[in-house]
Structures are given as structure tokens and as C-alpha cells.
Structure 1
Amino acid sequence: MEWINASEQNKEKYFKWEEIYFLGKHTISDERRAMAEQKLLARIEGQERKNKAKIITMYRFMKYAAVFVGLFVISILAYWHFDNESKSMIRFVTAEGETKQLVLSDGSKVWLNENTSLEFPKIFEDNIRELRLNGEAYFEVTSNKHQPFVVKGATMQIEVLGTKFNFKNSENCRIAEASLLEGEIRASGNANEGLITLSPGQKVELNAYTRQMKVSDTDAEVDALWHNDFVQLTNANIYDIALLLEKIYRVNIVVSPEINKTNTYSGALQKKKNIKEVLEILSHTMHFNYKINKQNIFLSVE
């Protein structure tokens, strides 16, 4: 049939062969010959219709198959794109004297202190929120019980569910430390130096050389003072404030016993460039005189 359909000459030749065949068997009339030709033509046309139907069916199949394959490829590319998007890492670095605030994809807030780098994925994975810290940072973590928040340092790591804490751990620091302001955190050494749970107002330290961990009470707001430059005080007397200023400015303060301890201060204590500016403000509120001699400061009654 393929040979017959190849050309009109082949069709005519085939008709003659058919005629010779029938004439060899018996003599046929023109009428019967015409009927035979019609039957043969009908068979040829029927076969052509079948072939066309097969071609149309195959075309439709290929068209739908192409659509399916296209959608499949698009799906794979989309998955690859978004999977790579979620796994792509972001790295922030601060220079000397620079601090920077970040908002992560889960809504958590991070403040980076100077000379600090923080690395984290653009989109957190389904089961964990993991970051790598080299330096010091303050965190306000969005609560998510099903997705722990883990900060890994050079020697220690911190795991939280939702909290505020300060974490300092760089590659060249001797003591890694974390202070907790709110919530709860779990601290552990990268070499399995125990697992310690902290409460607000506590600090954990890990010695990089002795590999020992210890917990102590701390003023966590003071530890994290660098990120917003103020501490909220409530009914703080002169001795409380003197201790606070010693920590912030690394000075020695001597308070005269004649100063009234019942005078208190409530409000935000703003960090200034030098302690003289702070003392000048407090002296008008708490009524004392001050004298500065290098790193030593003396407070007395007016």
C-alpha cells in the first residue's frame, strides 16, 4: 500500500496487474472490471483514512505529551530555583566602629556589633533556623516551637525557641559568653562541653583553652547595652548606678557615705561618649557632686 500510494504511476501499474491476474483466471466483463477497480480504490482510500487517523492520534498524543513534559520541566526548574533560593546563604559583616541591625526571614531581629560577621540562609529550612556568628550579636528571636533557632559560634552554640539574648563568640576570643534578657536558651560547647539552660539575668561562659563552662548572674541589659545605647532603670539608688557605670565605662567609682541612699532614679540611662556627660545629667537629678581623676571618680554630697 505504501508503494501504491507513492505515485499515480504505481497505482496504474497495480491496476493493470490486477486486470492481468483476473483475465488469466477467467474472462470478466467491463462492468465487473469497473467494480473490481472501485473495490480496490475503496480499500486504498480506507487504508489512507486509517493512516491519517493514526497520524492525527499520534499528533494529539505528542501535543499532550509535549505539554506534560513542559509542565514537568517547569516544575523541576521551579523546585530547583526555590530550593536553591532557600539554601542560598547571606553574609553580613561590620567594620571597626560599625553596628548594623538586620531582620531575618522569620521576623527575628539581630544587631551586629563591630568587627562581626553573621551567615544565614535567605529562607530558613523547614526544621531548623541556623546561623553562624563570628563576633558579637544581640538577638530578639521570633517564637516558633517547631523550628528551633540555633546560633553557632567558634567554640559554643546557643539554641532558643523565642527570646532576647546577647552572644559573643569569635574565632580569636578566649572566652565565649551569652547573656539572657528574656525567655530561655540552651548553651553547649562545640566539643560536647555539656548542655546548660539559662534563665533571664544569667550568663554562661566557655573558656576556649580549658573547655570549662560556668554560669553566673549578670546584668544582661548592660551586656547588650552596645546595641541600643541605653539601660532601663527602676528605683535605682546611687550605689546601683555607680556599679552600672563602672561596668559600662570601665572606671572605679567611690561613693561618699554621706550621700542619701533613698534617692532613686527611674527611666532610661542613655550611654554617652564619655562618663562626664552622664554624671552631669545624673547630678542634677540625684543631687551629688563628682570629681574625675583619670579612671577614678569620686561622688560626694552637694
Structure 2
Amino acid sequence: MNNPSASGRPDDLINAFLSKDCTGEEQQRLRDWLSESPGHLQYFEQQRELWFSAVVSDRSLKFDHEKAFDSFRESVMQLPSGSKRSFRLHPVWKVAASVAVLMIASLLFYHMGVRSISRQMADVTIEAPQGSRTRLFLNDGSVVWLNAGSRLTYSQQFGVNDRDIRLEGEGYFEVRKNAELPFRVVTQEMTVTVLGTKFNFCNFPDDDEASVTLLEGKVSYQVASDTREQLLEPDQKVVLNKKSGMAQVSEVRANRSAEWTQGYLCFEDDLLTDIVRRLERSYNVNIIIVDDTLDTYRFYGDFRRTEQSIGDVLEILSSTNKLTYQVQGKHIYLHAR
């Protein structure tokens, strides 16, 4: 394989295809996946639009009229001798030819997935399906990974007037520095503002806690119940208790917070309730905590999602002698031991 990351997962196959680093076998697997469901095709088109928007949009918005006319003239001069006609363009027709080429180029870019800001002002929303993860390339050069079950929304004006993003779920961000346009990630309970940095932000609507972990640079965060901004340093993590509104900062190995982008599941003193939801999103299963006493339990653990099944993870959790599990059809029930 040319691309070792194209392991057969849809996101990896799509990235390899768009990078022009996809083998024939991988292309066939991608075609098979696309044919399984209309939703798969819609998801692929969404990813392709984002890819081309990131790669081509700057070029399409800076159209060179003179160069367009020169290309148009050269194409006329290269017609077969039998059909070639000599003529001199009046300045008015020269402008018209440039406009015609501009219109054709605009249509081509549109069908490639590039929609300029002046033509469409609707928000862009990206979702990572359950059991999957998604990598995005934003117009400002920043890179975002979305974890399973997460959603990201931003304006078509992103990178022009602001760099504001709305997040539901978990995202890992590598932000391109721009002192004039701070990068803001907004959630219901917490907002993070950066200039250029690497950090992980996790805030699913149904989780009990929200957290921000800083890998590089500096970020400021603000909780909804407090107007003050607080700073985070590298290898620090802030955890917000959504019920109490209290935020606590601790020292951590920050690089572990982003290992999910490589297919790992890492739990660092996480509540079982949050772990269960992450397992549901990662393995697309339904888990019910039967005994409320388990809600306050916290666990550590490292798992490789591509190599370890949900059964493997449950076996390891039950080996702590804190809980047992029972599988009934498509449901998994957790009981206190």
C-alpha cells in the first residue's frame, strides 16, 4: 500500500482517495462502501467538498483576468488550420472573453466542491458517524479531527471575518497561527480562544463533564457561568463539572488526549458514565448502567479500537472487580459487583 493509514476504514479510504494515494484495491473497497447506502455517498460528497474547499478556494477567489484571456487566446490559436480564423479582438470583446472564461472557471470550481464565500453564506456542518472519526482541513490551514458522534459547525465566512467554530462532541485541533483572527471553539458550557496551538476539546451534550487539554501553545477558556477568562499551559487539563459549574485544572500527559485520532481509546481517571458513552460512540453499541453506584466510579485504560473488540474492553473493565456485564441481544448491561 502507498498509504499505510488507509486500513480499510471509510475515513482512511476517503483521505487516501482525495490525496491521490489510493491503490486499486482501496478504490474498490471505497466503491463497495459507497454503494451500501445513500448516506455513505452523501458523507463522501461532504468530505470531498471540504477537501477541495481547503485546497483550492484561495486560488479560485483570486482569479487573474489577464491570464484567463491569454489562455482563451492561446486555445483559439491552437485550433486546427482548417477551422482557424484570424481576427483582432476589440477591447470590449477582450473583456467579454475574460468574463466568459471566468464564468466557466467558476462553474468548474463549483462542481469540484468549491463554493466561494460570496456565493453561499450558509453554515457548514460536519458530522463524524458513530464508530468513525473524521479529519478536516479548514480554509485557514488549521486541521481538525472529529471523534465519533461529534459535530462541527462554522460559517462560510470562516477565516475572513472570524475563526469561530461551534462544537458538539470531541475534537482535536491543530490551529494555524493568526494574531489578527483568534480561533474560537464554542460549546454550550465552555468557550476556548487561541491564536495558534494544539489542543483537545471534549464536550458531548450528554456527558457529565467537559474538558480541554493543551498540548502546545496557550489557550484561554471561559465557562458559561463565569465571565472571566482563565489560561491553560501545555500539559494542563481543565475539567468542568456541568452540574456544579466548577472547573478544576490538573497536570496531565497531554499527548494522550489526542491518541484517539490514531484509533486509541485512552481513559485517564474518567467517570464510568463518560466511558460508557465513549464506548457507545466508538463501537456503535448500547450500554446501560443498571446500578447507580457505578456512576461515581473512575477508570484508567488504554485500548486500540481497531484491534480490541467491545468484548475485550468489557472483560478488562470487569477484571477490576468493580462491575460485571451481561449481553442481551444488542444491549449490554453493567452491574455492580
Q: For residues 95 and 125 of structure 1, what CA distance do their matches in structure 2 show?
A: 26
Q: Structure 2 length normalisation: TM-score?
A: 0.46
SS at match of 1:91: strand
Offset, 1:196: 1.3
Pairing partner for 1:148 from 176, 182, 197: 182
Q: For residues 131 and 146 of structure 2, what CA distance do their matches in structure 1 show?
A: 11
Offset, 1:121: 1.9
Taking only the aligned residue pairs, the percentage that are identical comes to 32
8 Å Cα contact 1:193-1:211 kept in structure 2: no
Offset, 1:227: 0.7
What is the aligned partner in structure 2 of residue 226 from structure 1? 260
Q: CA-to-partner distance for each residue in 1:141-163, whole Å, 9 max, x for gaps?
A: 00101110000012101100000
SS at match of 1:97: coil
What is the aligned partner in structure 2 of residue 89 from structure 1? 123
Q: For residues 214 and 125 of structure 1, what CA distance do their matches in structure 2 show?
A: 32
Task: Please say if 1:206 is aligned against 2:240.
Answer: yes
Q: For residues 300 and 198 of structure 2, what CA distance do their matches in structure 1 show?
A: 30
Q: For residues 127 and 252 of structure 1, what CA distance do their matches in structure 2 show?
A: 42
Judging changes above 3 Å, is the alpha-carbon distance between structure 1 residues 85 and 204 closer, same or farther for their aligned structure 2 residues?
A: farther
Q: What aligned pairs does 1:111-150 form with structure 2 within 5 A after superposition? A: 111-124=145-158, 126-150=160-184
What is the aligned partner in structure 2 of residue 295 from structure 1? 319
8 Å Cα contact 2:150-2:169 kept in structure 1: yes
8 Å Cα contact 1:222-1:244 kept in structure 2: no
Q: For residues 163 and 300 of structure 2, what CA distance do their matches in structure 1 show?
A: 42
Which amino acid is 1:121 matched to? S
8 Å Cα contact 1:201-1:219 kept in structure 2: yes
Offset, 1:117: 0.4
Which amino acid is 1:172 matched to? D
What is the aligned partner in structure 2 of residue 196 from structure 1? 230
Q: How many residues align?
A: 180
Q: Which runs of 5+ in 2 are unaligned?
A: 1-114, 280-297, 310-315, 322-337
Offset, 1:198: 0.6
Q: CA-to-partner distance for each residue in 1:62-110, whole Å, 9 max, x for gaps?
A: xxxxxxxxxxxxxxxxxxx965547331101112111000000101000
Which amino acid is 2:197 matched to? T
Offset, 1:224: 1.5
Judging changes above 3 Å, is the alpha-carbon distance between structure 1 residues 210 and 244 closer, same or farther for their aligned structure 2 residues?
A: closer
Judging changes above 3 Å, is the alpha-carbon distance between structure 1 residues 125 and 102 closer, same or farther for their aligned structure 2 residues?
A: closer
Q: Which runs of 5+ in 1 are unaligned?
A: 1-80, 232-242, 254-268, 276-291, 298-302
Q: For residues 195 and 162 of structure 1, what CA distance do their matches in structure 2 show?
A: 17
SS at match of 2:250: strand
8 Å Cα contact 2:267-2:300 kept in structure 1: no
Greater relative contact order structure (CA < 8 Å, 6+ sep): 2
Judging changes above 3 Å, is the alpha-carbon distance between structure 1 residues 251 and 129 closer, same or farther for their aligned structure 2 residues?
A: closer
SS at match of 1:224: helix
Q: CA-to-partner distance for each residue in 1:152-196, whole Å, 9 max, x for gaps?
A: 012101100000100011222221100001111101012325321
Which amino acid is 1:220 matched to? A
**In terms of Rg, which structure is larger?**
1
SS at match of 1:122: coil
8 Å Cα contact 2:171-2:200 kept in structure 1: yes
Q: For residues 244 and 109 of structure 1, what CA distance do their matches in structure 2 show?
A: 24
What is the aligned partner in structure 1 of residue 193 from structure 2? 159
Q: For residues 89 and 203 of structure 1, what CA distance do their matches in structure 2 show?
A: 30
Judging changes above 3 Å, is the alpha-carbon distance between structure 1 residues 83 and 293 closer, same or farther for their aligned structure 2 residues?
A: closer
What do you get for the CA RMSD once the two structures are aligned?
Answer: 3.7
Offset, 1:128: 2.1
Offset, 1:294: 5.2
SS at match of 2:180: coil
8 Å Cα contact 2:117-2:156 kept in structure 1: no
What is the aligned partner in structure 2 of residue 257 from structure 1? none
What is the aligned partner in structure 1 of residue 202 from structure 2? 168
Q: For residues 186 and 162 of structure 2, what CA distance do their matches in structure 1 show?
A: 13
Q: Structure 1 length normalisation: TM-score?
A: 0.51
SS at match of 2:158: coil
Q: For residues 300 and 154 of structure 2, what CA distance do their matches in structure 1 show?
A: 40
8 Å Cα contact 2:140-2:159 kept in structure 1: no
Q: For residues 99 and 193 of structure 1, what CA distance do their matches in structure 2 show?
A: 33
8 Å Cα contact 1:149-1:159 kept in structure 2: yes
- Structure 1 runs of 4+ aligned residues shifted over 6 Å read 243-253
